[in-house]
Structure 1
Amino acid sequence: MTNRSRSILFVGVSAASILFAYGVNAYAAEAPEPSPDTAELEAVIVTGTRTTGMKAVDSPAPITVLGADILKKTGQPDMIQALAQNVPSFNAQAFGGDTAALTLSAKLRGISPNHTLVLLNGKRRHGTANLAVLGGAYQGGAAADLNFIPLASVDHIEVLLEGAAAQYGTDAIAGVINIIQKKATSGGEVIINGGGYIDGGGTTGDFTANIGIAPTEKSYLNLTGETKYHGYSFRGDYDPRVVNTPYNTGATNSPARSYPQVVNAPNWPYVNRIAGDAQYRQTVLAYNAGYEITPDIEAYSFGTIGRKWSAAHENYRLPNVVKGKMATDIPFPLGFDPKESITETDYAVTGGVSGATNAWNWDLSSTYGKDDDSVNVLDTANASLYADTSTTTTKGYSPTDIHAGGFINTQWSNTIDVSHDFEVGLAGPMTFAAGAEYRKESYEITAGDPATYYGGGSQSYFGFAPVNAGKHKRNNKAVYVDLAVSPVEALKLDAAVRYEDFSDFGDTTVAKLTGRYDFSPAIAVRGTVSTGFRAPTLAESYYSGINVSPSSISGQLPPNSPGASLLGINGLKPEKSNNFSIGLVTHLAPKLTMTLDAYQITIKNRIVSSGTLYGENVVTVGGVKVTNGIVSPAVVAALTANGVNVDPSIRTNATYSVGANMFVNGLDTRTRGIDFVSTYYSDFDDWGRVDWSLSASYNKTEVTKIAPNPPGLDPRLTLFDAIAIANLEDTSPKFKIIAGAYWSLGKFSMNLKESVYGKSSGLSNDSGSPALMKTTVKTALITDLDLGYQVLPSVKVSVGANNLLNRYPNRINGLLREHYLKNNSNGFVTQFPSFSPFGINGGYYYGKVTYSF
């Protein structure tokens, strides 16, 4: 363990000592912590049903309830990680390319992040403006950024694991995550948390405070503030371009031979720091408030506001990338390490009134959310600008910190919901619910400084020119009806129908039928049939950008752009889905509950990114550059039509490519899976109590249909290559098992989790080389451990680790890495696959102090 890791691990213990030294006046009652699992089973839920007072254990729909105690027992103070460590069918992104590295995402049941609806206190949450563009398992994701909701503000989370488009909105195809905030009017907590990776990097510090107050006798106000920092990590290899290897003799892009001074570059030979975590600083405030106007009417409001600065290393640039017309005009003799950065403001506020009138429950609300991202490129330069401003006697000029543009996403939702229980002579009352929603959305790309898009653009991130900029809007109107009834004591039925009308994609009607039959108190069956309809996000429809690396350039063309039209693509259509599930609920022993649910989700016209369509693709064979199969003038023309200029330095590489990508409706997919959850507790008297849990998820996605190429596309090209198909089918683990044991004994507690991640894999090549190579992450067992001790009635100290045994995924295919090395490619730097379900950084160790009052 490094000195830094030791310091991080014991920061919590040190903070506890400080609190003790100052004589913390502890008055919180000392008592064993409640059983999290039992409390969750008995929790009254509000997701997946309009019936008042429904318990999770009695729900017709599969729903997982995670209490605040469970969420806080994760080392990294991160909402996405807290869910991933407790919900097997929820998988978190570990690493992203370009700006996706700055907004990590997650997905439910193996399909896109866009197929899961996120609610805050039952109200729709806005999505991020930072679209995941580069290839991989999370490409196209623009869902709500969960990390702008502080964990300490959460009372519990309800995860609905079935299609719910008819109940909540036509994009709730995989399920719904409903985050319920605290309403407490007294007490609170202060949490100090510090940690880092045992092998270095990822230094994390977090300070959170939550307090509940009652401003007046009839009101509540719960406030949470959080500020945290996370540092860079690095898990890459050396850059072969700056090392004298047997393969780069005479290579034009080998500064090790042409510029021997690069050995003095910072971190040499590990100059390329792209393989690792981004750095970020984030501050978030959250509130939840209400006022009782009358005993039957309440006004309420809640919201969050956050500010985040983040930066990620990109590929190291060689000294010869930027140069002037004088032979001696090389402004970066040691090369340079560009970074992409986002300064982000994210906020949402909801106001509403709810109540009951003549036995009718009603709720009227309005929510406005916005995510505003300013994108910058740091420690960079524009090679074209530098060359064009230089002369044979004067040096050129380029700014090194450049504003590349921005993304802005807004959402304004207005809803009214009503419900009433009618006695109709059956085993229970019939619940009638209905509602309406009006929603307006916008997505905007703002242009950057001219230096970011002039000529070949700023190195590592080609900025947004005025031709890429624009603001796009749409509105949506919806109405729904929901009926829940128990015809006989043992049978519960719930049916919903929803009509939606999009201003840009027309209207649709979706439906859902859910049922549960209890054969006895010990066993029940449940099932659901539902349909869904997902209109493309505005980002999928209108994002326009350029992805660059030292050896490639690929234009992301909007589906309705002139360039896409030249390739036969003329906009996007909505997706349509069908969801089927059947499940078993058992209570075979007083302390034991088990659920097993099997499901199938089919999606037609699924919106995914195409594979790379190559306009130029050159590889080196035996030291000789050759064209690799396809040179399509149509792709080059499409890039030109969208204002893309190719950086000429790309063509100095031994292997390089020029291509285009687009979001298209080109596939039908079928996802089949099984979710299993079981809980049990043991009381060992003087030896304390253990709450046991075992949950598992099996999931498999298959592409069932590939649409033919559009007529305008070069017949030698294909919209979906094997790499794009593998990203959908294979990059998520087929199964995930989480076994947990929470032991409490007096002042001591231990939370142990063993997670088994199934095999996952992906295909890769080197700039379009026909040789596809598979990288496989084998089945892995990951151990998470949290140890807590109540040093004072109000002060608890915890230490622990995520990935205690410091497991790493398998390395990228050795033959592919050898190919990178032989071609003197920066791709050799990346050792571990970005799709690894448990990350690429190894073990994370932490210390934490919680002061409750």
Structure 2
Amino acid sequence: MRRFYLMIILLIGLGFSTSAQTIRGVVRDTAQTIIGATVSVSGQKQRAGTDASGRYEIKLSAPGTYTVFVTYIGYQTLQKVVTVKAGESKELDFLLQTNNNDLNDVVVVGSRSAPRSYLDTPVPVDVVDIKKLTQNAPQVTLNQILNFVAPSFTSNVMSLTDGTDHIDPASLRGLGPDQVLVLINGKRRHTTSLININGSLGKGSVGTDLNAIPTSAIKRVEILRDGAAAQYGSDAIAGVINIILNDNVNQLNSSVTAGGYAGKHSDGLDGQTVQANVNYGVALNDKGGFLNLSGSFDYRDFASRTTPYKGVIFTDYNNPALYPTPTGKDITDAELQRRGLSRSDFVPNIGQSQNRGGALFFNSVIPVSNGAEVYAFGGLNYRNGRSTAFYRTPRQLTQNIATIYPNGFLPDIVTSNLDQSIAVGIRGNLGLWKVDLSNNFGRNKIDLQTENSLNASMLTTSPTSFESGGFAFSQNTTNLDFSRFYKNTLKGLNVAFGFENRLENYKIIPGEEASYVNYGNAIQVGTDGNGKPILVPDPKGNIATRFAANGQAYAGGAQGFPGISKDNLTNASRSSVAAYADVEANFTEKWLVDGALRFENYSDFGSTLNGKIATRYKFSDQFLLRGAFSTGFRAPSLHQRYFSATSTVFVDGAFVESGTFANDSRVAQLLGIPKLKQETSDSYSLGFTSNLGKFKLTVDAYLIQIKNRVIYTGQFSGSNAAGASAQDKEIYDLLRQANATTARFFANAVDTRTKGLDAVLTYTTPLAIGTFRADFAATLSRTDIVHGIHASPLLAGKENIYLDNASRILIEKVTPRFKANLTLDYTVNKWNVFLRNVYFGAVSQPTNVAANEQVLPGRVITDAGVGYNLTKSLKLTIGSNNIFDVYPAELLPGSQGTSGILYPNQAPQFGFLGRYVFTRLALSL
């Protein structure tokens, strides 16, 4: 009997051992675990999907040697051979690599569930393969790459806009640069410290400097074209740009691109550019740990497209030897001949500023235990730029000292731009939940110098270069995120929630005293015995004491870019806390509903609650219908709340010294400018996708309504005339103290409505012995100001200054309402041919003069490139942007003014420098 029991126990034991062979493990890529990957065993029926932690488990019927496969859309199929002994539980992990052929199919932005195909998302997402584009396309900076690839994205190199000449503002769906949120690896990116105040695209806004991120560090860019404030917070009214950093290992990629402009207006080959890039990644262990490093060097030279100076350059005041009793008579032509000069010697650089700098970026992941890993990424970017202001001609007696500059001078504005960022986090599994704790710090600092200039009020003692001050902005964001996938609830339910704390600091750093003071000002402290006023020098005085030969008072501060006054010294901070919840439910295999809710509280303006609901229904593998509704918000930036300075702006052919004043300033109180509050929005979208194999199509319509949109006002001025009101006299005195003649502010002044339609089509097929791909994308959009202007009673009769016509055009008509591109790419053997046509639709020139109103018609810009693989590792590409040397329409004479402006620098559709030719050498090892 005892032997019988032993046999029973042995048989049971054998039964357990023969049924207990298992393989289990984790499937991940270099950035995250993968949910929903399929794990299968060759020759067996067993298969499993990875769970919310990326884990799988398969039971095997018998011991032996098996081949195990893992597949997931957008990744290369991976297989491993494993030997499993009787009763053994074998750990078998997989590290997937992206499939470059399917890279454009997979997105992670917009959902806290598993990555999915862009054709399956409930809201539209574009995916841009940066690695491929930087091999073939002429553009080398991220802003310009996206401008020519994504129709809903607009950005151009600016000119005559001070610091904005070096930080390109960018727009999504025709809205402002501060109405799109930028993420890196899904984490919020800080904005620049510079605010755009000089009449450019995005006037009055603060954007993110995309060009601070070297293209060598970027794997792909995801552009979420839908309101996402309920998911990601402030700024995501127009959408989200998520930059995914490179994670490849054991591969060296480097390239050098050199080129220049060779069009009809070029001086031979001008505006030369050089960009060098390098990227290399190393594996830190066999568990998916890696460190990926990227670097770049950029150089960009001046390029200018001007006409000779048209106005008066010399008057008889400039030649006292011939004109001892001057009257202001124009003697330009005679004096030019006598001095051996021409009118072309008196124009600014209008087109492209000079810039040079470099960047270092890294991306890394280090597994620390089963299901947990530490990650970090960030970088450093430094750029030094030089642009010019308007030429100060000799006739401008109050702005020049002839003994220093006999022929006048062209001021240089030198911008030093330092950008730093570091993000560190840990993510892993806490029971059945995925947890991600991170801290992300970013900082941008800009220092400004004015060179080849002077302070006329200092007379002959004036220096010719000035430290003009600068700006700094820092942001620290801490996130704690939880998510869990319930596989057996409905057809799959993903629940996510989290918390965010953000700290921001904004500084305005004054320049040296001589850069902003008028040393000719004085105040009256009494009268002497003869009744004459007793004057005491005072920079804030309202009495001028130093006069040019024509009897007018000398200007104070550095010409070209007046320095920042110590009165503008600012060190402002704020904090915000947020909590969000996100539920994504697959009610059936075809029907998905995604809902999000976010509460956010700001220390300086209060709380906001926003929500979003999105859905998609998959009628078949070939057709999907999707739609979304969301509410959103944008907190006014610290820059908009606290920025104050004086700058030189060009307005309808003339330039003026304009002061920007904070909303709590005395000038703002006199005009009834209210305190800033948040912008709020409603966003609607409806569209469909179609997957017909080689042919893929997405079409989406949208409507975005924004209330209390922040604008940068027109220019208010005071008066010291005898009959002026007390209000205007006080404004006049306050402006004089700021070395300004006009005043501008930030205000929640208008509501806008933006509606549009986006379409994206792709077609890929083998052709002959090669591969052919065609991409067509188009956007049709329109932004209108609705519901009138929100003005206070104190502004009655001044509404057209509060929102002047130029500002209205910059909101409604400065980005193309229609934009489309068609890209053809053919690869055969060692050759690659790239051809792209982009249509930039009509825009309008910002102006406040009815006679200067002008519609700039649309143009087609053609890019072409040919690449050849010299060896397996070395590729040579030559090509051109704007190969047919197309230019925008010339400005009307009234907008050109006297300073030589020929093409629109405030409403650039595609730039106006003409044909650009380039060559690129790329090495991959």
Task: Give the TM-score normalised by structure 2.
Answer: 0.80
In the alignment, the residues of structure 2 paired with residue 261 and residue 205 of structure 1 have an alpha-carbon distance, to the nearest angstrom, of: 39
Letter aligned with residue 241 of structure 1: G
Letter aligned with residue 168 of structure 2: L
- The answer to whether the aligner puts 1:51 opposite 2:116 as a matched pair is no
For 2:505, the equivalent position in structure 1 comes to 442
Letter aligned with residue 132 of structure 1: N
Q: State the shift of 1:252 in Å.
A: 3.7
For 1:339, the equivalent position in structure 2 comes to 412
Query: Paired residue for 1:720, among 797, 803, 810?
Result: 803
Deviation per residue, 1:242-281 (Å, 9 max, x gap): 6699xx999949572695478545x752421231111111
- The answer to whether the aligner puts 1:539 opposite 2:639 as a matched pair is yes
Check the 8 A contact 1:226/1:285 in 2, yes or no: yes
Of stretches 94-103 and 479-488 in structure 1, the one that deviates more from structure 2 is 94-103
For 2:879, the equivalent position in structure 1 comes to 800
Query: Paired residue for 1:571, among 675, 682, 693?
Result: 675
Identity level (%): 30
For 1:429, the equivalent position in structure 2 comes to 492
For 1:597, the equivalent position in structure 2 comes to 700
Query: Paired residue for 1:783, among 848, 862, 867?
Result: 862
Note the 1:208-247 alignment, pairs <5 A: 208-218=277-287, 219-241=289-311
Task: Please provide the CA RMSD for this pair.
Answer: 2.6
Q: State the shift of 1:329 in Å.
A: 5.5
Q: State the shift of 1:457 in Å.
A: 1.1
For 2:126, the equivalent position in structure 1 comes to 64
Residues 252, 669 of structure 1: alpha-carbon distance in 2 compared, 3 angstrom cutoff = farther
- The answer to whether the aligner puts 1:413 opposite 2:477 as a matched pair is yes
- The 3-state SS of whatever aligns with 2:833 is strand
Check the 8 A contact 2:702/2:756 in 1, yes or no: yes
**Uncovered stretches (5+) of structure 1, i.e. residues with no partner:** 1-33, 387-395, 618-626, 648-657
Note the 1:310-459 alignment, pairs <5 A: 310-321=385-396, 330-386=403-459, 396-423=460-487, 425-426=489-490, 428-455=491-518, 456-459=556-559
In the alignment, the residues of structure 2 paired with residue 381 and residue 255 of structure 1 have an alpha-carbon distance, to the nearest angstrom, of: 25
Check the 8 A contact 1:775/1:811 in 2, yes or no: no
Check the 8 A contact 2:510/2:569 in 1, yes or no: yes
For 2:688, the equivalent position in structure 1 comes to 584
Query: Paired residue for 1:518, among 618, 629, 632?
Result: 618
In the alignment, the residues of structure 2 paired with residue 251 and residue 224 of structure 1 have an alpha-carbon distance, to the nearest angstrom, of: 63
- The answer to whether the aligner puts 1:306 opposite 2:390 as a matched pair is no
Check the 8 A contact 1:41/1:57 in 2, yes or no: no
Letter aligned with residue 759 of structure 1: A
Check the 8 A contact 1:438/1:477 in 2, yes or no: yes
Check the 8 A contact 2:382/2:416 in 1, yes or no: yes
In the alignment, the residues of structure 2 paired with residue 303 and residue 255 of structure 1 have an alpha-carbon distance, to the nearest angstrom, of: 59
In the alignment, the residues of structure 2 paired with residue 659 and residue 727 of structure 1 have an alpha-carbon distance, to the nearest angstrom, of: 20
- The 3-state SS of whatever aligns with 2:640 is helix
For 2:778, the equivalent position in structure 1 comes to 696
Check the 8 A contact 1:811/1:833 in 2, yes or no: no
Check the 8 A contact 1:93/1:835 in 2, yes or no: no
Letter aligned with residue 686 of structure 2: I
For 2:272, the equivalent position in structure 1 comes to 203
- The 3-state SS of whatever aligns with 1:613 is coil
Note the 1:542-561 alignment, pairs <5 A: 542-548=642-648, 551-561=655-665
Q: State the shift of 1:480 in Å.
A: 0.3
Q: How many residues align?
A: 770
Residues 264, 832 of structure 1: alpha-carbon distance in 2 compared, 3 angstrom cutoff = farther
In the alignment, the residues of structure 1 paired with residue 482 and residue 412 of structure 2 have an alpha-carbon distance, to the nearest angstrom, of: 51
- The answer to whether the aligner puts 1:77 opposite 2:140 as a matched pair is yes
- The 3-state SS of whatever aligns with 2:461 is coil
For 2:833, the equivalent position in structure 1 comes to 750
- The answer to whether the aligner puts 1:256 opposite 2:332 as a matched pair is yes
Deviation per residue, 1:783-834 (Å, 9 max, x gap): 01121100011000001111111110001124544xx3xxxx33x4343343
For 2:913, the equivalent position in structure 1 comes to 841
For 1:292, the equivalent position in structure 2 comes to 367
In the alignment, the residues of structure 2 paired with residue 644 and residue 79 of structure 1 have an alpha-carbon distance, to the nearest angstrom, of: 42
For 2:764, the equivalent position in structure 1 comes to 681
Deviation per residue, 1:704-739 (Å, 9 max, x gap): 023343223363563112222111111111110111
In the alignment, the residues of structure 1 paired with residue 922 and residue 726 of structure 2 have an alpha-carbon distance, to the nearest angstrom, of: 62
- The answer to whether the aligner puts 1:190 opposite 2:257 as a matched pair is no
- The answer to whether the aligner puts 1:638 opposite 2:717 as a matched pair is no
Larger-Rg structure: 2
For 1:493, the equivalent position in structure 2 comes to 593
Task: Give the TM-score normalised by structure 1.
Answer: 0.86
Q: State the shift of 1:183 in Å.
A: 1.2
Deviation per residue, 1:301-340 (Å, 9 max, x gap): 1001011100111101122546799xx9632111111011
In the alignment, the residues of structure 2 paired with residue 570 and residue 323 of structure 1 have an alpha-carbon distance, to the nearest angstrom, of: 36
In the alignment, the residues of structure 2 paired with residue 344 and residue 566 of structure 1 have an alpha-carbon distance, to the nearest angstrom, of: 36
- The 3-state SS of whatever aligns with 1:167 is helix
- The answer to whether the aligner puts 1:611 opposite 2:686 as a matched pair is no
Residues 480, 48 of structure 1: alpha-carbon distance in 2 compared, 3 angstrom cutoff = same
- The 3-state SS of whatever aligns with 2:379 is strand
Q: State the shift of 1:136 in Å.
A: 3.5
Residues 237, 634 of structure 1: alpha-carbon distance in 2 compared, 3 angstrom cutoff = farther
- The answer to whether the aligner puts 1:812 opposite 2:891 as a matched pair is yes
In the alignment, the residues of structure 1 paired with residue 338 and residue 700 of structure 2 have an alpha-carbon distance, to the nearest angstrom, of: 58
In the alignment, the residues of structure 1 paired with residue 220 and residue 327 of structure 2 have an alpha-carbon distance, to the nearest angstrom, of: 58
- The answer to whether the aligner puts 1:669 opposite 2:760 as a matched pair is no
- The answer to whether the aligner puts 1:152 opposite 2:216 as a matched pair is yes
Letter aligned with residue 564 of structure 1: A
For 1:25, the equivalent position in structure 2 comes to none
Letter aligned with residue 730 of structure 2: A
Letter aligned with residue 775 of structure 2: S
Residues 35, 209 of structure 1: alpha-carbon distance in 2 compared, 3 angstrom cutoff = closer
Deviation per residue, 1:536-568 (Å, 9 max, x gap): 001111111112267422111122222111111
Of stretches 503-512 and 85-94 in structure 1, the one that deviates more from structure 2 is 85-94
Query: Paired residue for 1:128, among 192, 203, 206?
Result: 192
Check the 8 A contact 1:242/1:269 in 2, yes or no: no
Deviation per residue, 1:672-724 (Å, 9 max, x gap): 011100111121233x2210111000110000023343223363563112222
Higher relative contact order (CA 8 A, sep 6+): 1
In the alignment, the residues of structure 2 paired with residue 254 and residue 439 of structure 1 have an alpha-carbon distance, to the nearest angstrom, of: 59
Residues 329, 672 of structure 1: alpha-carbon distance in 2 compared, 3 angstrom cutoff = closer
Residues 368, 376 of structure 1: alpha-carbon distance in 2 compared, 3 angstrom cutoff = same
Residues 352, 263 of structure 1: alpha-carbon distance in 2 compared, 3 angstrom cutoff = farther
Of stretches 402-411 and 753-762 in structure 1, the one that deviates more from structure 2 is 753-762
Residues 36, 562 of structure 1: alpha-carbon distance in 2 compared, 3 angstrom cutoff = farther
For 2:227, the equivalent position in structure 1 comes to 163
Check the 8 A contact 2:314/2:395 in 1, yes or no: no
For 2:609, the equivalent position in structure 1 comes to 509
Residues 519, 469 of structure 1: alpha-carbon distance in 2 compared, 3 angstrom cutoff = same
Residues 343, 676 of structure 1: alpha-carbon distance in 2 compared, 3 angstrom cutoff = same
In the alignment, the residues of structure 2 paired with residue 635 and residue 357 of structure 1 have an alpha-carbon distance, to the nearest angstrom, of: 65
In the alignment, the residues of structure 2 paired with residue 795 and residue 424 of structure 1 have an alpha-carbon distance, to the nearest angstrom, of: 51
Check the 8 A contact 2:834/2:865 in 1, yes or no: yes
- The answer to whether the aligner puts 1:274 opposite 2:349 as a matched pair is yes
